[in-house]
Amino acid sequence: MSKHTQTSRPSHFLLTRALPALIVTIMIGVGVLALLAWSSHETDRISLDRQARLVELVVSQLQTAVAHDQESATVWDDSVTMARAGDQNWLNNNLGQWMHDYFGIDGAYVLDPADRPVFAFTSGAMADPSVYSDIADKVAPLVKALREKMRDGDDSQVSDTVLSPGVSDLVVVRKHPAIVSVKPIVSDTGALSQAPGHEYFHVAIRFLDGSLIDELQNDYLFADLHFSWTPGSEPAVSSQPLKSAKGEIIGYLVWHPYRPGSAVMANVVPVLVAVFLLVLIVIAVFLILHHRRSEELKDSEEQIRYLALHDPLTGLPNRLNFNNEVDQALALRRHEPIALVYLDLDRFKQVNDTLGHPMGDALIREFSQRLQATVRPGDIIARIGGDEFTILLRGEIEEINRLCEQMVDVARRPFEIDGNTVFVGVSIGAALAPVDGVDRVSLLRKADVALYYSKTTGRARYSFFTQEMDQTIEQRRQTEADLRLALRADDQLQVHYQPIRSARTRRTVGYEALLRWKHPERGMISPELFIPVAEETGLIEALGARVLKDACSAAVNWQAMTIAVNVSGVELDNPEYAAKVQAVLAETGLLPKRLELEITETTATGETDAAVENLRVLREIGVQIAIDDFGTGFSSLGRLQSLNVDRIKIDRSFVRGLGQNINDAAIVRAIVDLAHAKGLKTTAEGVETPLQDEGLTRIGCDDLQGFLYSRPLPRLEVDRLPPEPDPVP
């Protein structure tokens, strides 16, 4: 082999194998480095862009938040009154110091209708109003703009969350960048007269270079965030201009941005240099990780978008989602009626209080599933908070009625939750488009009014909005005033007595005392209307004392008959209640064992110290205790086993369905069987048909009460009743 041949082989290997391989390897390395550099740059660019948009969004939201915080005190009758009176201490406490301490407002001023300062708060303390002159030239355009809005009656800004018009902007105040927000001081009730354009104004100032910087750094993790009059000149910093409404730059927020791409690059390059032969694997791993990270980000964005529009507990649409759907449905509506329905579970709070919030959450989930199974495809259900739901229904009024009835029915069926049998009801209010309105806000308000009507007229029912319902609140106020007068009169409030019949002997074994109110102008007023008013206003104790004394006085002359008297939870919470009952028994001479006090399920399960002690004392002296209207609101057969009572009164809503609804018969049988197992007596209320009588007797209910046997009678009519014949053996 020649020397030339020996020397040419290495050259050939170098030229044909090593060099190409080296070149290819270098090209691959350069390509990888170029790809990494590009990916790092793009990642940094996207990150910087997002951070800049986040800063812009935060400042924008802060403007909105300052205006919203102002409304907590500016939309208030007291603020209007005190501004007119010029009460400096009150204005400082509510429009100055309080807003500074609670919302972080750095300065606050109150201007009179002539735009003169009447109150000033700055540097953490009340100041002389004349200090306003330092900022008047900055604030004057905003004040002028709002004054024109108020004078023109421009309420385009007003919505569900914005209570009054306002003007805000970014300006320089005392050499500080600041948000300046101007809001009118207006009446929240509309009871105070204010000439348009002559309102008092509240000016709020929040500096952008003070405590706000620390809050942004802590909340959004902006490194070395600070304010600057000029944009950052260093390559490693980012700047976001702060612009006024006119587009004028008043300064910059400057920070060291997080650069995820550069961080990755700094860690990967040393590895690539040290392990160059594994560069392809590194590229593959990087691409896989990059793809995975992109997919995770996409999944995260989808999840965030879903959570923003849905309730996390039930998966139903939330309020925002529902509002969008309603607006779209109303815009596309042709001739078909649309109903907006409000639902609220009756006494849901008792479930949380007695069984715990996890049990309440489970109840909400199961109830939402029942709702979804009840409505039709295309109907929209939303949970808007707590135990409140809204539904959009389409169709004729007959179909909407049917669906509402089904929703009431499914809520009445027992819920089996974690070994507990729980009963709740639902109250429903509905408004129809176009009959009751064609815009969402109006329809939802009227549905809410109808819901309030359902809850105040018996619960576990549904109501469609009527114009008369708008007068409900005023009627309740009038009812309170009239009830106070009735308590002082002798001829309006009367006690009637409804017989209670033994299912076995068919003889009358007692009476229930029922209060009746005959108003001189409005006629007979339902107890379902005035009893809740009496409980809310504290009049229930006076009513209860009157009924108890009248009932005990009457029952003394009715031989061995028992007398049942309803007791409010308000009365039982009075530590003196047991002593009052003993005093009435002593005064009338009625034996304690002939008196039966009927309490609600809420009272029986509430277990306040005063109520427990009153019931203990009353049972010790022989007074009988019964749970009234069992099955309404919150009921639990599991709780029934631990209640220290003598009788269960089954609510009329279950009795009504006997012979027609197999579920009601099963519920009544379960209540009767468990009550008897615990040694308790049972009374069925609201018996109106022979079919109900027969069914209850067959089930084994002890006593029966209802219009089938007798309506409630005045005392004189009961006294005149002839003796009943002995039962046929």
Query: What is the arithmetic mean of pLDDT over 563-572?
Result: 91
- pLDDT tier, 629 (very low <50, low <70, confident <90, very high otherwise): confident
| Confidence band, pLDDT 50/70/90 cuts, at residue 634 | very low
Instruction: Identify the pLDDT of residue 602.
Output: 66
pLDDT at position 155 is 85
Q: List, in order, residues 6 or more apart from 623 with CB less than 8 Å away.
A: 581, 592, 593, 595, 596, 597
More confident site: 457 or 573: 573
Amino acid in the structure at residue 490: D
Q: Which residue has the higher pLDDT, 238 or 139?
A: 139
* pLDDT at residue 657 greater than cutoff 70: yes
Mean pLDDT of 632-639: 52
Q: Is the pLDDT of residue 349 over 70?
A: yes
Q: What is the mean pLDDT of residues 54-74?
A: 84
Residue-level pLDDT at 606: 56
Q: Is the pLDDT score of 102 beyond 70? A: yes
Quote the CA–CA distance of 133 and 136 in Å, as a whole number: 5
CA distance 408 to 429: 11
Please tell me the distance from the alpha carbon of residue 404 to that of residue 375, in angstroms, as a whole number: 9
Place of tokens 């392809």: 280
Reported as a pLDDT band with limits 50, 70 and 90, residue 2 is very low
Separation CA 23–CA 11 (nearest Å): 15
Total-model pTM = 0.43
Name the β-bridge partners of 249: 243
pLDDT at 239: 80
User: From edge to edge, which strands make up the β-sheet containing 107-111?
Assistant: 125-127, 117-122, 107-111, 200-207, 176-185, 167-173
Whether 309 has a pLDDT exceeding 70, the answer reads yes
**Range 88-93 average pLDDT:** 94
User: Which burial class, exposed, middle or buried, applies to 325 when counting CB atoms under 10 A from its CB (0-12, 13-18, 19+)?
Assistant: middle
Query: What is the pLDDT at residue 444?
Result: 92
484/57: higher pLDDT: 484
Residues 305, 311, 317, 323: is their CA dihedral positive or negative? Answer: negative
Secondary structure (3-state) at 192: coil
Please give the full DSSP string across 39-80, using - where no structure is assigned.
HHHHHHHHHHHHHHHHHHHHHHHHHHHHHHHHHHHHBSHHHH
* pLDDT higher than threshold 90 for residue 185: yes
Mean pLDDT over 680-685 rounds to: 93
Whole-number Cα distances in Å, 726 to 604, 609, 698: 37, 45, 22
Please tell me the predicted confidence (pLDDT) of residue 21. 65
CA distances to 317, 619, 632 from 307, rounded to whole Å, are 9, 53, 34
pLDDT in tens, 506-527: 999 999 999 999 998 888 888 8
pLDDT at 18: 53
Return the DSSP state at 92. Answer: I
Is residue 434 reached through a cis peptide bond, with omega within 30 degrees of 0 on the bond before it?
A: yes
Residue 25: is its pLDDT beyond 80? no
Residues with Cβ within 8 Å of 17's Cβ and at least 6 positions away in sequence, in order, are none
How far apart are alpha carbons 226 and 231 in whole angstroms? 11
Q: Which of 559, 626, 621 is nearest to 593 (CA)?
A: 621
Q: Nearest 5°: CA angle at 248, between 244 and 253?
A: 70
| pLDDT tens for each residue of 542-552 | 999 999 999 99
Task: Assign 10 a pLDDT band (cuts: 50, 70, 90).
Answer: low
With H, G, I as helix, E, B as strand and everything else as coil, classify residue 17.
Answer: helix
pLDDT band at 727; cut points 50, 70, 90:
low
Alpha helices in 310-396 (DSSP H): 319-332, 348-355, 357-374
Name residues whose C-beta falls within 8 Å of residue 695's C-beta, 6 or more positions apart in sequence: 658, 659, 665, 668
Sheet (strand 420-423) strand order: 415-417, 420-423, 635-636
- Burial pattern 340-354, b for ≥16 Cβ within 10 A else e, equals bbbbbbbbbebbbbb
- Among candidate residues 180, 182, 177, the one with its CA nearest the CA of residue 165: 182
pLDDT at 613 over 70: yes
Q: What is the mean pLDDT of residues 409-425?
A: 87
**Is residue 704 helix, strand or coil?**
strand
> Higher model confidence: residue 356 or residue 199?
199
- pLDDT tier, 167 (very low <50, low <70, confident <90, very high otherwise): very high
User: What's the pLDDT score for residue 321?
Assistant: 92
Neighbours of 573 (CB within 10 A): 16
Please give the Cα distance from 622 to 643 (Å, whole number). 17
The predicted model gives 370-382 an average pLDDT of 93
Give percent of the chain above pLDDT 70. Answer: 90
Residue 696: pLDDT above 60?
A: yes
pLDDT at residue 22, rounded to an integer: 63
Residue type at 572? Answer: L
Domains and CATH numbers, the chain: 3-58+275-308 (no CATH), 59-218 (3.30.450.20), 319-465 (3.30.70.270), 490-719 (3.20.20.450)
658-684: average pLDDT: 85
- Collapsing DSSP states into helix, strand and coil, what is residue 306? helix
CA end-to-end distance (rounded Å), the chain = 138
Mean of the per-residue pLDDT values for the chain?
A: 85
Helices 540-555 and 577-588: angle between axes, nearest 10 degrees: 30
Find residue 472's DSSP bridge partners. Answer: none
Whether 57 has a pLDDT exceeding 60, the answer reads yes
DSSP sequence for 372-391 = HHHS-TT-EEEEEETTEEEE
303 vs 300: CA distance, rounded Å: 5
**Confidence class for position 250, pLDDT limits 50, 70, 90:** confident
Q: Which two tokens stand for residue 406?
A: 């089904």
Q: How far apart are CA 83 and CA 77, in angstroms?
A: 10
Give the range with max mean pLDDT: 58-62, 153-157, 594-598: 594-598
d(CA 62, CA 211): 13
Q: Assess contact for 135 and 174: CB atoms under 8 A.
A: yes
CA dist 373 and 371 (Å) reads: 5
Instruction: Tell me the longest C-alpha to C-alpha distance in the chain.
Output: 147
CA dihedral 460, 463, 469, 475 (to 10 degrees): -20
Q: How confident is the model at residue 633 (pLDDT cuts 50, 70, 90)?
A: very low
Percent composition of the chain: helix, strand, coil (DSSP 3-state, to 5): 50, 20, 25
630 forms bridges with which residues in the sheet? 650
Q: Token pair 């709070």 is at which residue?
A: 349
Please report where in the chains the tokens 């849905």 appear, as a residue: 310
pLDDT value at 343 more than 90 = yes
- Reduce the DSSP state of residue 266 to 3 states and report it: helix
CA torsion through residues 78, 82, 87, 92, sign: positive
In DSSP terms, which residues pair with 223 in a beta bridge? 256
- CA distances from residue 189 to 154, 359, 430, 452, 467 in whole angstroms, order as listed: 19, 39, 25, 20, 20
List, for residues 457-515, the tens digit of each pLDDT value: 777 899 999 888 877 667 778 888 888 998 888 889 999 999 999 999 999 999 999 99
Please give the Cα distance from 156 to 170 (Å, whole number): 22
Residue 214 identity: D
